Structure 1
Amino acid sequence: MDDIVKAALKKWPNVPHCYGWLALDARGDWYMRDERIQHAGPFPQVKGSRINHEKLREFIERNYDHDEDGCWFFQNGPQRVYLQLEAAPWIWRLDQQRLAERRVQSHTGLSTTVDGCWLDEQDRLFLSTPLGLGLVHTVDMLWAAQAVDQGWWTPEPAMFAELLARYRVVLEPIQRGR
């Protein structure tokens, strides 16, 4: 977490949390969901405005975390902005070099190893890592298939809801008292 964010938390410790204004899709893209978009429909059917500003994305990614209940958020200074997740809190990126090192990279740029591998009922490939549960990016499925062919990963069948429960992932946090 950025030092400026830590300082803001100390200076203003009781800022209310924010819900519904930020989302992460299954491709690792961040979306702003203003009040108009929130009323237009649920995420991901109505996504909102994709965040393209590089510095803003990097700030969100450096200050991305989860609480004890499995709800993921972006700590925006003193305000915790809870996210809606389309599929998982991490979107894993793969390439030849990472796979040779037996590593994957998150949509936030963090590198990690793989502990487990599952295919859900929609044939989506999920990986567990020391960082938590994540979905393999759709454009990297060829690399994932090569990892399976090499015997590095052995996908096991799992229901999506069971994976979320096992790894304590909440896709859409609900507003509660602070």
Structure 2
Amino acid sequence: MDDIVKQAIAKWPNVPACYGWLGLDARGHWYLRDDAVQLQGGFAVARGTRLEHAKLIEFIHRNYEADGEGRWFFQNGPQRVYVELEATPLIWRLGADGEPVAHTGRPAGRANECLVDEAGRVYLACTAGLGLVHSLDVEALARQIDQGRWTPREVLAADLPGAYGFVPSPQAVAGPLPA
């Protein structure tokens, strides 16, 4: 977490959290979801505007983490902005060496398990958490499977949040916000 963010938290410790305003898609792209977009429905229905500003995305990546309840958030100064997830909190890209790296640029740590869901999506459970393998890297991972590095285990996508401790929609868990 950035030092300036830590200083802001110390200065303003009681800023209410923000729900529904930020989403992460299955390819590691961030989406801003204003009031009008949120009124259209959840992240699966209405994504919002894709963020393109490189410095803002880098700031989000440096300040993205999970709380003790498995809700992933971006710490924006003193305010936590909880993230709506299309798939998983991390999206893995495979490096030239075949090792996964998160969409944020952080290393995955040790990869422990390979999973395939009912739609054919591939996940890796790593020290850093569960992540969906980016669609552009599935072929490279398939080669690793063919070479015997992985034996994929079949799973249901709906079971992953409970099994791996993440909340896909912190806003849905928080319930309706006061008007």
Q: TM-score, normalised by structure 2?
A: 0.93
Q: Which amino acid aligns with 1:151?
A: G
| Per-residue deviation, 1:175 | 2.5
Quick check: 2-11 or 156-165, which moved more? 156-165
CA distance in 1: counterparts of 2:139 and 2:124, whole angstroms: 15
Q: Which amino acid aligns with 2:34?
A: D
Q: Which residue pairs with 2:86 in the alignment?
A: 86
CA distance in 1: counterparts of 2:130 and 2:10, whole angstroms: 31
| Per-residue deviation, 1:78 | 0.2
CA distance in 1: counterparts of 2:5 and 2:160, whole angstroms: 32
Give the SS at the match of 1:151. coil
| Per-residue deviation, 1:162 | 2.0
Please, which runs of 5 or more residues in structure 2 have no aligned partner?
A: none
Q: Does 1:41 align with 2:41?
A: yes
Q: Which amino acid aligns with 2:26?
A: A
CA distance in 2: counterparts of 1:165 and 1:126, whole angstroms: 15
Q: Which residue pairs with 1:55 in the alignment?
A: 55
Q: Deviations over 1:82-126 (max 9, x none)?
A: 00000000000014x231xxx211100012231101111111101
8 Å CA contact retained: 1:5, 1:77: yes
Q: TM-score, normalised by structure 1?
A: 0.93
Quick check: 79-88 or 146-155, which moved more? 146-155
Q: Which amino acid aligns with 1:84?
A: E
Q: Which residue pairs with 2:139 in the alignment?
A: 142
Q: Does 1:111 align with 2:107?
A: yes
8 Å CA contact retained: 1:25, 1:44: no
Q: Does 1:133 align with 2:120?
A: no
Q: Which residue pairs with 1:175 in the alignment?
A: 174
Please, which runs of 5 or more residues in structure 1 have no aligned partner?
A: none
Quick check: 110-119 or 52-61, which moved more? 110-119
8 Å CA contact retained: 1:87, 1:135: yes
CA RMSD of aligned residues (A): 1.3
Q: Which residue pairs with 1:7 in the alignment?
A: 7
CA distance in 1: counterparts of 2:23 and 2:82, whole angstroms: 8
> How many equivalent pairs are there?
173
- Identity between Structure 1 and Structure 2 (%): 51
CA distance in 2: counterparts of 1:169 and 1:98, whole angstroms: 28
Give the SS at the match of 1:109. coil
Q: Which residue pairs with 2:18 in the alignment?
A: 18
Q: Which residue pairs with 1:68 in the alignment?
A: 68
Moved over 4 A (4+): none
